[in-house]
Amino acid sequence: MNTLTETIRLVPMNHYILLCTALFCIGVLGVLTRRNAIVLFMSIELMLNAVNLLLASFSVFRNDASGQVFVFFIMAVAAAEVAVGLAIIVMIYRNAKTIDVDLMNKLKW
């Protein structure tokens, strides 16, 4: 375990920030390009994970455990969000027989 945790002494903080930025941008790309509501949700999970990883790495960088506690709360909120969101998707599929977000335009005026 010691040799494993020694490794991050060799990784600059910048690289964590760049990794999380790239991961977040991939999530944004998924939300912009895909039309399948479930894949949209997965892209949102990607963005949440990017933020979680950044919070955890800053928490280690600053020697402050609050960041990791915050990641824990974000995970709880993400779980609640996915449960409700997927229930809504199932309900929409039951009514509209599709989960294509382009076809869900009933609320458009």
Partner 1 sequence: MIQYLFYFLSFIVLASAAMVVIAKNPVHSVLYLVLTLFGVACHYILLNAQFLFAVQVIVYAGAIMVLFLFVIMLLNLNDASETVKSPYGKLISIIAFGLLLITLVGALRSTAESPVMELNDTSIGLVKNLGIVLFRDFLLPFEMSSILLLSAMVGAVLLAKKEKAKA
Under rule CB under 8 A, which residues in 78-107 are in contact with partner 1?
Answer: 78-84, 86-91, 93-94, 98-100, 102-103
Nearest-approach distance from CB 106 to partner 1, in angstroms:
17
Spatial CB neighbours of 104, under 8 Å, sequence gap ≥ 6: 92, 96, 98
Binding-site residue total for partner 1 (CB under 8 A)? 79
Checking 2-8 for CB contacts under 8 A at 24+ apart, the result is: 8/60
Nearest-approach distance from CB 68 to partner 1, in angstroms:
6
Q: Map tokens 């974000």 to a residue.
A: 74
Nearest-approach distance from CB 109 to partner 1, in angstroms:
21
Site for partner 1 in 5-64 (CB under 8 A): 5-19, 21-23, 25-30, 32-36, 38-39, 41-43, 45-46, 49, 52-53, 56-57, 59-61, 63-64
